[in-house]
Every structure is written in structure tokens, then in C-alpha cells.
Structure 1
């Protein structure tokens, strides 16, 4: 069994973040459940503690450095040094490029890309002190193959992939691995909002029907990939982008 660590999961209140919190808790790790939705984060933390695990819910806007610094300090004080970071929190955006405005661009980039950098930077002293760390960044298969009306979102996730590779080179000699999980079409509240809002060019059933595995993915599929990268089994793996997408991005 892997040594118990403290894991910080951003966007941990729902969807892939929630599934990852629960999966890492089952592996014995203490979980910092960070989300702008504090009530949702508390519900996830309560699920973990009710079964004997350790968890702390913290509310923070991932785009605000001061809030993130305070949240990481709170988790460190309550649970211990943070040596596993899952950068999952993100905003979606569906908009034709000619209709995008600068404020929307800046806000989404602040959450999806800058937020991941800030969280990683805030936890880094703990990893450096331990000589061990895991950073797992959530990308998106649209960043690998492109997607209509999603230039902003996919640009942010393409930045996540590039940052993952560069940090892997920089931090590998210090005992820290950095990898990315690239989800496909996963059945999450975010995806359901897009489906219900008719934001895809064709019904989602037509989209997934073209995949080698013709269905929506499950948040647990993403949690399993994150848990693998966080484990001792992945000790010699870094700088990788693991597609969990039913073969959609082959």
C-alpha cells in the first residue's frame, strides 16, 4: 500500500473532482477538498470523514491568489504537508471567436491556467521539503484535437499540457512528478449543463457514437487515472498526457 499523504483537489465538490477526492481517500490519503462551492466541498469532506477518513473542506476562488494561499495554509495546518496536488478546477466556455471579449478570456484563463500554476506554486515548498511530490493536471481532449466554438477553453487546456511538460523537466530532479490526465466527454454537471443548453453542434449521442467506446465517460474513470499518477506505481512516469476519452483523441 502507498504511504498516506495529504492531497489537495481543486474543484473537489462535484464531478471529476468529487470522484477523485473519494478515490484518493479510499487509498488512505487525507484530502483537502477545495472549491468555490464550500457547501458542496463540505458534503464531500463529510462523506470521507463518515467512513473514517481525513478531509477538510475549504472554500476559495481558484482565480484569486490570496484565497488560494490561505486555503493551502489551512489544509497544511489541519492535515499536514501537501504533497499531492490535483489541479481539476475549471470553467467551460462555448463561444465563437468573433464574439469573445477580453474580460471572458481573462477570467477563464485566471481559473483554468493561472489557478493551476498558483496552487502548484503554493504547495511546492511542502514537496521540496519532502523530496517527493505529485502534480496531476486536468487537461482536455479538445486541446489535443480542437473543438468548434471552444478556442478559449481549449487554449487554456493546451497551456495546461505545455506547463505539465515543462514542470516535469524542472521538478523531476527534485523528486516531483508532473503529469496530465486529458478527459474526453465525461458525464459531469459541467457537461450536462452544456448538453441541456444545446451548446454542441449536434446531439451528444451522435458525438459519442463515433468513439471506439461509444458512450460518455464516468467521473470515476478520471479519478482512477489521477489515483494512478499519485501512486508509487507511477514513480518513473512524468511529463505524460494520459487520454481518458474512449479513444476519441487517437
Structure 2
């Protein structure tokens, strides 16, 4: 899969940086998109687009046009951008629901719609979404987050069916708790060894983006084993 153009949303975050680096190390050109105003590091090959609101259709369209102009197309879209909130239904707010659907679901739909024409022109287009194991059976306080992630699961299945006659595959990975600095700070008493590492997630994503993953589409793949 050397030489593909890969777009990673949420590319400046803990998971996004590891995924982007894995593709770059594989010989691919990577465009990292993020709402953060600046990238925390650099990649030797590719493009960084900071300050991008993925719910803004004109802004996303302009970003996709820039990627196509600078890198020559789009082969793989990895939708990592998103967020989390913990609120009960009884004591939470409607604003939390709106924020989760915008941050997790609308952002994914907006960039996917904008990038889809370029991905369909690829010989082996891939869309890989970040769902959540916690959206399969939501726990207390997970309702807004889990509902928005369940929307990504259904988006994945529907788009895979829509593109069944093409060479494009559409899949979602469903991680359990990801071992990131933020999660460790939020849950200091947890057993970190049971959490899934960003590198393990990156390995699964690279497989789905590879020729070896060409026969898999419409899958919701749990990624829940701890360690590397």
C-alpha cells in the first residue's frame, strides 16, 4: 500500500498521531486534520491542516480540495476526530447531546461526504471510522456519547451497502478504553494494562487499509485487547 494518500481526522491527538505516523512509516502521504490551532509535531511527508471545524461544510470542502491539489487525491479516510462526555439522562443537558452528535457523528458525515468523490476514484478506496465498544451496550452516563457513536456504526453499515458495487470498503473499529494520557488522568485508579493501546488500534487500521483487507466491508470490529 506504499504511496497512498491518507487523511486522518483528529490527527493531532494521542491516537491520531500514532495512526498518522504508522501510515507515514509505511511510505504513505498523510494529511492530518484537526481543530487544534497547531500541530504538536511534524511528519516528513504529507500535510497538516490545523484549526479545521469538521462540522463546517465549506471549510471541509476547501480542506479536501487542498489535499487533492497538494497530494494528488485521497485513497484512505480515517475518521478519528471526536469527543466524550459523561452525563446522566436525568441530570444532563440537551446541549451535551447536541455536542456529541456534532463532534462525533456530524463531523464524520461531513468529511466523508466531501472526500467520497476522490475516494471513489481510487483503485482501492477505504473509509475507516472510529466507533466505540461502549456504544454496543451503554453504561450509566454514556447515553449522549454512545448514541452518537451508534450513529457512526449505522453510518458505516449503510455506506458500505451503498458502495457495495465499487472498490471502496467502509468499516469501523470499536475500541474499548484507549490508553491515552487524558484517560489515565481521568481514571487514575484503573488497570491500564487492560486498555487498548493506540499502536494496537493503528495496526488494525493499517490492515483494513491494506490490500489484505479488501474483502472486509460493513464490519464493526471490536478492538479491546490490552497491551502491544
TM norm. shorter chain > 0.5 = yes
Q: 2:206 and 2:98 mapped to 1: Cα distance? A: 31
Distance 2:152 2:28 in 1: 25
Aligned-pair Cα RMSD in Å? 1.7
> Are the aligned partners of 2:74 and 2:122 in contact in 1 as well (CA < 8 Å)?
no
Which residue in the other structure is 1:55 paired with? 46
Q: CA deviation at 1:193?
A: 4.7
2:84 equivalent in structure 1 = 92
Helix, strand or coil at the partner of 2:196: coil
Task: State the Cα distance separating 1:70 from its structure 2 match.
Answer: 1.9
Structure 2: gaps of 5 or more residues: none
Q: Distance in 2 between matches of 1:216 and 1:70?
A: 37
After superposing the two structures, state which structure 1 stretch, 99-108 or 141-150, moved more.
99-108
Q: Look up the match of 1:180.
A: 172
Q: Is the contact between residue 63 and residue 111 of structure 1 (CA under 8 Å) also seen in structure 2?
A: yes
Gap runs ≥5 in structure 1: 197-202, 209-213
Aligned partner of 2:190 in structure 1 is 204
Q: Report deviation, 1:130.
A: 2.8
The structure with more helix, counted as a fraction of residues: 1
The equivalent position to 2:65 in structure 1, one of 65, 70, 73, is: 73
Q: What is the aligned partner in structure 2 of residue 17 from structure 1?
A: 16
Question: Scaled by the length of structure 1, what TM-score is found?
Answer: 0.84
Q: Residue in 1 aligned with 2:206?
A: 227
**Per-residue CA distance 1:199-237 (angstroms, 9 max, x = gap):** xxxx423xx6xxxxx522211111111111111110111
**Partner secondary structure for residue 39 of structure 1:** coil
Residues matched between the structures, number = 225
Change (3 A) 1:99 1:70: farther
Per-residue CA distance 1:113-148 (angstroms, 9 max, x = gap): 011111111111112223531000001110112222
Partners of 2:216 and 2:63 in 1: CA distance: 29
- Partners of 2:139 and 2:73 in 1: how far apart? 39
Farther-moved stretch of structure 1 (72-81 vs 85-94): 72-81
Q: State how far apart, in whole Å, the 2-side matches of 1:11 and 1:189 are.
A: 16
Indicate the SS of the match to 2:186.
Answer: helix
Q: Which residue of 2 aligns with 1:236?
A: 215
Q: Which runs of 4+ in 1 moved over 6 A?
A: none
Contact map agreement 2:127 2:170 (CA 8 A) in 1: yes
Out of 100, 106, 128, the position equivalent to 1:108 is 100
Give, in angstroms, the shift of residue 71 of structure 1. 1.6
Counterpart position of 2:38 = 39
User: Hey, what's the Cα distance between the residues in 1 that align with 2:122 and 2:169?
Assistant: 13
Please report how far the alpha carbon of residue 3 of structure 1 lies from its aligned counterpart in structure 2 after TM superposition: 4.2
Question: Does structure 2 conserve the Cα–Cα contact (< 8 Å) formed by 1:228 and 1:234?
Answer: yes
Structure 2 length normalisation: TM-score?
0.92
